[in-house]
Structure 1
Amino acid sequence: MKDKLTLSIEEDVIEFAHRLSKETNQSISSIVEKHLLELKEIKEQDYEVDPRVKKLSGIFEGEDFPESKEEMRRLFHEKNNS
């Protein structure tokens, strides 16, 4: 569902947004939405594990909990394949 959002943006950025909108034949809303979706994807790929989840994870007991998904997978596979 689409909803409205009000933003406070510097005037020169607004002027740029209008020019970009005309050049690309896209609405400013569409441009902003696409950019935010790209940022959301990046953020979701590079997440940190919530501290509450760390407390529930017994597999890494006695060790520092890995901060990245890739490191967690590597350690998990090492423990299960040894």
Structure 2
Amino acid sequence: MDKKLTLSLNESIIEKAKNYAKSNNISLSKLIESYLGTLTKTEKKETEITPLVKNLSGVISIDDNFDAKNEYAKYLLKKYK
């Protein structure tokens, strides 16, 4: 059952959304309904792990105290120094 909904949005966003909907041959209402449906979808799709990734898992061992963010920051500082 469809029901009306009133939204207050930025005018330029509305125009861009209308243009997008028109160029994709869909009504603005259906576009927003589809978007909200995607946002509120309860079931999560399981990500498929490819055979290559399965083969690579466990190849590298990393210390428990390894700080990836800190190491990446060091790398960037060295790269752009």
* TM superposition score normalised by structure 1: 0.50
RMSD of aligned residue pairs (Cα, Å): 1.3
Q: Kindly state the Cα deviation for residue 34 of structure 1 after the two structures are TM-superposed.
A: 0.2
Matched residue pairs, number? 44
Q: Which runs of no fewer than 5 residues in structure 1 stay unpaired? A: 47-82
Over the matched positions of the two proteins, sequence identity in percent amounts to 39
Q: Which amino acid aligns with 2:39?
A: L
Instruction: Kindly indicate whether structure 1 or structure 2 has the higher relative contact order, using CA contacts under 8 Å at least 6 residues apart.
Output: 1
**Structure-to-structure mapping, 1:33-72, within 5 angstroms:** 33-41=33-41, 44-45=42-43
| Cα displacement (A) at 1:45 | 4.3
- Higher share of residues assigned helix: 1
Q: CA deviation at 1:2?
A: 0.3
The question of 1:22 aligning with 2:22 is answered yes
Runs of at least 5 residues in structure 2 that lack an aligned partner in the other structure: 45-81
Using the size of structure 2 for normalisation, the TM-score is 0.51
User: Looking at CA atoms only, which structure, 1 or 2, has the larger radius of gyration?
Assistant: 2
The CA distance in 1 between the partners of 2:17 and 2:2, in whole Å, is 20
Flag as ranges the 4+ runs of structure 1 deviating above 2 A: none
State the distance in 2 between where 1:13 and 1:3 align: 23
